[in-house]
Structures are given as C-alpha cells and as structure tokens.
C-alpha cells in the first residue's frame, strides 16, 4: 500500500486482482484490474513516482480463477490511466525508485536477484540489468533518502549502497520479511512485515 499526494490510499490487492484507490471517506475506485482485456494475476508490490506514475509487479504464486494473463510482469500505470507492460519476468516482486527517480529497482524472488532499470522522463523503463545476485528469496524493497537499497530477504533485511556495496544486515528471527516501510515522526523507524503475521520496528541511526 502507498499514499498519493492527495492522501488517498493506493492498494495492490492480490485478492481482487486489482490496484485500488481508497479515498478518505472510504470510497473505493478500481484503477486497473485487466491488461488487454485479461484479468491480472494479482498485483503485489508498488511504488509511485512524483508525477503519479505507479509501477507494480504482477507475479503468479497459485492458480487464479478465472485464468487471465498467462505471464508475470512489471507494469506502469500512467497518471492518465494507461496500463503499460514494461516487461515479462519470473516472479517479479518488490519495486523501488532512487531519490532522483531515474532508477527503478525490482526483485526477482525465485531467481534471488535484484534488477535495475533506467527510467526516462515519460516514465518508461529500459536498460534492465542485474544489480545484485544471491539475495535469498528477495521480496520487498525500500530506497532511503541517500539512495541506499533496503531488501527484505528470507533471513532478514539487507542494505546496499547505490553502487551495490553491502552496508548493513538486520536479522529477523521469526518469519520471513516480505514488506517494509519507513515511518515514525522523523522517518527513521523501519517497519518490517513478515509472512507469519509479525510486524517489527527498528530504530535507525
């Protein structure tokens, strides 16, 4: 889930196989649930650019019903509501943007990789390449104000510099980290959700 500039909640909903905007009064609006007329697998992770462009992944973990698209992909939802397929990948998962919004990062969970893409002024991505490998069951991604990449992996949270240098490791002892966010009064509290229902908070320097 993410918030837009108007304070509306944008949700990637696996259960409804859609991306939904919820207003402050609880009104829900489906932003997208199909690609070329076929149902999405189940939107999973998202990130939003300053202009309102949403990037989200649509992996496939179990047979959806009815069957829709026959591939897994990285999508771009433009502010005008156009859904663009940026590429087909195996188990695409977490996505994050660099502070200058010129680089998009994406995890490939079963491949144990993190990819990076160049982002053009119009929001399109290109030059996809391997940024990291060996990231065990990498899922969610967050990018901090310094451009460091935080990755939720099977055994904890790993932090890398924009150049790919490992900076830190936070061990999680119960559950596999899946999603993260920065919060607290000064934005220096890391909040980590795990697959067994736990939420951890970590005070950062």
The answer, yes or no, to whether residue 137 has pLDDT greater than 90, is no
Query: What's the domain range around 118?
Result: 2-176
CATH number of residue 56's parent domain:
2.120.10.30
How far is Cα 3 from Cα 20, in angstroms, rounded to an integer? 11
196 in a structural domain: no
186 in a structural domain: no
How far is Cα 72 from Cα 70, in angstroms, rounded to an integer? 7
Identify the pLDDT of residue 63: 67
58 in a structural domain: yes
Answer yes or no: pTM beyond 0.85.
yes
Identify the pLDDT of residue 205: 86
Domains in the chain, number: 1
Question: Residue range 119-138: average pLDDT?
Answer: 92
192 in a structural domain: no
Question: Residue range 108-112: average pLDDT?
Answer: 90
Per-residue pLDDT tens over the stretch 15-70: 899 999 999 899 999 999 999 999 999 999 999 999 999 999 999 877 666 779 99
103 in a structural domain: yes
Q: Supply angle C-alpha 113, 115, 120, rounded to 5.
A: 170
Q: What are phi and psi of 101, to 5 degrees?
A: 60, 25
89 in a structural domain: yes
* Highest-confidence segment of 48-57, 107-116, 135-144: 48-57
Mean predicted lDDT score pLDDT of the chain: 94
Q: Supply angle C-alpha 57, 164, 73, rounded to 5.
A: 15
How far is Cα 53 from Cα 19, in angstroms, rounded to an integer? 13
The answer, yes or no, to whether residue 135 has pLDDT greater than 80, is no
167 in a structural domain: yes
204 in a structural domain: no
How far is Cα 149 from Cα 155, in angstroms, rounded to an integer? 16
Identify the pLDDT of residue 65: 61
């Amino acid at each position: 889930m993410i918030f837009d500039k108007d304070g509306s909640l944008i949700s990637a909903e696996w259960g409804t196989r859609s991306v939904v905007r919820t207003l402050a009064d609880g009104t829900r609006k489906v932003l997208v649930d199909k690609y070329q007329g076929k149902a999405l697998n189940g939107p999973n992770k998202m990130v939003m650019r300053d202009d309102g462009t949403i990037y989200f992944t649509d992996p496939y973990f179990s047979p959806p019903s009815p069957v829709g698209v026959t591939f897994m992909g990285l999508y771009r939802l433009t502010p005008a509501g156009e859904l663009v397929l940026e590429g087909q990948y195996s188990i695409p998962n977490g996505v994050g943007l660099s502070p200058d919004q010129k680089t998009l990062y994406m995890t490939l969970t079963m491949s144990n990789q993190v990819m990076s893409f160049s982002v053009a002024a119009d929001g399109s991505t290109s030059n996809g390449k391997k940024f990291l490998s060996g990231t065990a069951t990498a899922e969610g991604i967050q990018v901090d104000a310094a451009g460091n990449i935080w990755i939720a992996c099977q055994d904890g949270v790993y932090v890398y510099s924009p150049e790919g240098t490992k900076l830190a490791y936070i061990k999680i002892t119960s559950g596999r980290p899946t999603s993260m966010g920065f919060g607290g009064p000064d934005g220096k509290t890391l909040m980590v959700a795990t697959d067994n229902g736990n939420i951890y908070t970590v005070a950062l320097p």
